[in-house]
Chains A and B, each alone.
With several copies, the nearest count.
Chain A
Amino acid sequence: MNVEILAFGIAKDIVKGASFQLDLPAEATVGVLKQQLCSTYPDFERLASFAIAVNEAYRQDDFALNEKDEIVIIPPVSGG
């Protein structure tokens, strides 16, 4: 399946844009997405950490993705 991913903070610099498309296997999980991101953009490995939000909430690696989900890369936050 083809998903659209939003990027913020340093993730925007890594993928060179605020959003991009990614091809994932059908029934991919957040964990699969993270692996794919790291192999496509090795700079993600150099981050202190990064999380994935789906439909406006943090999701664990075993969370299953759907084509219409709002998927967001959340690099280390630094608000406050």
Chain B
Amino acid sequence: MIDIQLKDTPLSTTECSDLVASPSTGGTVLFVGTVRDHTKGKAVVRLEFEAYAPMAVSEMRKIAEEAKSRWSADKIVIHHRVGVLAIGEIAVIIAVATPHRVAAFEACQYAIDTLKETVPIWKKEIFEDGEVWVAAHP
């Protein structure tokens, strides 16, 4: 089972955990990414996430499929938020259930590492005195 969602409403850790839990697997590993209040010492007021939606979904699905086949994962959920987020809100949740616990940790780490490299989603940090697209400049 793979469940990919790109949504502009709050994400739920319990929902993602429940989606991958099954009576036949013994453990789930989740990564929950939240919005930080500072970048390089500068206070962030809020964030905006923008996505090239159809490709963001298809790239997240690609990641889930790769993780599923490489680590024999039973179920993988990737939910990503878009729109305006306040400090502390959840931007992304990845949940992975595998027959063996070690594989779930590896697959989840692979998924978040790859998501940050390939999925067309952009984060804009808004400060008191301006705003910046993260990662745009070297």
- Touch A–B, Cβ below 8 Å: yes
Minimum Cβ distance to chain A for residue B120 (Å): 5
- Find out whether the CB atom of B52 lies under 8 angstroms from the CB atom of A79: no
Which residue of the partner chain A has the closest CB to B111?
A: A80
Q: How far is the CA of A32 from the CA of B135 in the complex (A)?
A: 25
Q: Quick one: which of A40-78 are within 8 Å of B by CB?
A: 46-48, 53, 56-58, 72, 74-78
| A6 located at the interface, meaning its Cβ lies under 8 Å from any Cβ of chain B in the complex | yes
Judge whether A46 and B122 touch: CB under 8 Å. Answer: no
In the assembled complex, the Cα of A18 lies from the Cα of B138 at a distance in Å of: 23
Interface pair A10/B122, CB less than 8 Å apart? yes
Which residues of chain A are within 8 angstroms of B138 by Cβ–Cβ distance? Answer: 48
What chain B residues lie within 8 Å of A27 (beta carbons)?
Answer: none
Q: Which residues of the other chain, B, contact A78 by a CB distance below 8 angstroms?
A: 116, 121-123, 133-136
Closest A residue, CB atoms, query B122: A9
* B107 at interface by CB-CB < 8 Å: no
Q: Does A23 contact B (CB under 8 A)?
A: no
Cβ-neighbour of B135 out of A56, A58, A76 (below 8 A): A76
Task: Name A's B-contacting residues (CB within 8 A).
Answer: 6, 8-10, 13, 46-48, 53, 56-58, 72, 74-80
What are 29 pairs between A and B in contact, CB < 8 Å?
A8-B52, A8-B120, A8-B122, A9-B122, A9-B124, A10-B122, A10-B133, A10-B136, A46-B137, A47-B137, A48-B135, A53-B55, A53-B120, A56-B58, A57-B58, A75-B122, A75-B133, A76-B135, A77-B117, A77-B118, A77-B122, A78-B121, A79-B80, A79-B115, A79-B119, A79-B121, A80-B80, A80-B116, A80-B119
